[in-house]
Structure 1
Amino acid sequence: SIRNGIRSRELFVLTYGALVAQLCKDYEKDEDVNKYLDRMGYDIGIRLVEDFLARSAVKKCRSYSETVDMIAQVAFKMYLGITPSVSRSNTTENEFFLILENNPLVDFVEELPAGRTSLCYCNILCGVIRGALEMVHLAAEVNFIQDRLKGDDFTEIGITFLKKLEDKKHKRNK
């Protein structure tokens, strides 16, 4: 089972690289590629949350902090085989950072494609997190703060919780 997980992860990483390469051919502007990857990730996140909740049997998180810890310690481990460290903003209670020492999506990538300095190669991750959070009624802004592919020492994803979304079925009962 672990062996199959590793194989499927490697296949995903290789397929993802081919997808990004194709998008770079299809779109001239990095921002268009970044938007496409985010939108694709968002769609995946919306669908992935059910699988995550079923397979992980996690309890409902009571705070943003618990939610981010769940993303780092359970979700990333389950789907990418890594556990990012979490840091919190010193100024606000709704801003967190995931620090990825290793990022499996770039295992076979040395550098960004030539002339693609604004490309956010792993932007799909931001979309996945945003989509999954929305499905549990949390609106968030998710983006890359640092990126090893752009010369930073590590990869860092920022998550800023915006507000708790209204649960539609509760709204109807009022």
Structure 2
Amino acid sequence: MAQQPRYAQTPTTGGAPAALAPSASSSAATTSTKIGDRAFDKIEKTSAEFFAITYGALVRQMFIDHNERADIVNTQLDQMGERIGVRLIEEYAARSGAPPCRSPAQAADSVAKIGLKMFNPQRPSQWLQPPRSSGPVSSSTGAAIGDAANGSNGGAVYSISFDENPLNVFVELPDALRQTLWYSNVLCGVIRGGLQQVGFVTLVWYVRDVLRGDDVNEIRIQFQGKERETFKVDMQK
């Protein structure tokens, strides 16, 4: 029987639980970053510890319900994230005030600097230009948005890396799962579901995860086409 993910005990302190709040930073570098910061300030915060433990309990139960099949759990997390992303796009539009995305480059920029910033206190460290192969990407190959590589079907590919993931707090994967389970695969579904609502057809998948022993977390987004938007951003607000 495969081992399930293990969770450390929540540390007890004399103060309130740590809130999902960003660390202090210098001035925002881009307009998108500033929009993301303002949007994050507007939303209601929750306990980081409670958030992580609740998600961990969900993954554990999925693992039990699906006979410890990591591949099925990966799919279920992705599908759950897609449903969340479809709903979060409304929150994104209401809170961010960001303009509509007209190109994959704009969409990728908004995902990293606004969307993920609103719901994840850790700002992505940088965008990377992935190689044509699907192998590991060096963090030294930073590239500007819009300089993404092309995928096998010609779609623009962007990659986002981040050092810390609030979903990973208190989690340790046993060796039996480190090569099969993408613990935070829900994030891929959230990104795909949100982009789908504004007309972008994408493939989104994890490439690296610190829980698997990698030095950084990395999610890759491949844009495959454009469809009619299900949700339109109202710029009259």
TM-score band, normalised by the shorter chain? Answer: 0.7 to 0.9
Unaligned runs of 5+ in 2: 1-18, 22-43, 131-147, 231-237
Report the CA distance shift for 1:146/1:10 in structure 2 as closer, same or farther (over 3 A): same
**Contact 2:159 2:218 (8 Å CA) reproduced:** yes
- For 1:2 and 1:40, the matched residues in 2 are separated by 22
1:28-58 deviations in Å (ceiling 9; x for gaps): 3111101110110000000000011110000
Superposition map of 1:20-59 within 5 A: 20-28=59-67, 29-59=69-99
Residue of structure 2 in register with 1:119 after alignment: 181
Deviation at 1:10, TM superposition (A): 3.2
- For 2:174 and 2:163, the matched residues in 1 are separated by 22
User: Please, what TM-score do these two structures have when normalized by structure 2?
Assistant: 0.65
User: Please, what TM-score do these two structures have when normalized by structure 1?
Assistant: 0.88
**RMSD over aligned Cα atoms:** 2.1
Residue of structure 1 in register with 2:218 after alignment: 156
Matched residues, number: 167
Structure 1 segments, 4+ long, off by >3 Å, are: 1-4
Aligned partner letter, 2:87: R
Report the CA distance shift for 1:2/1:141 in structure 2 as closer, same or farther (over 3 A): closer
Mark the structure with the bigger radius of gyration.
Answer: 2
- For 1:24 and 1:151, the matched residues in 2 are separated by 21
Unaligned runs of 5+ in 1: 169-174
Equivalent position SS for 1:98: strand
Identity %: 38
Residue of structure 1 in register with 2:121 after alignment: 81
**Contact 1:68 1:86 (8 Å CA) reproduced:** no
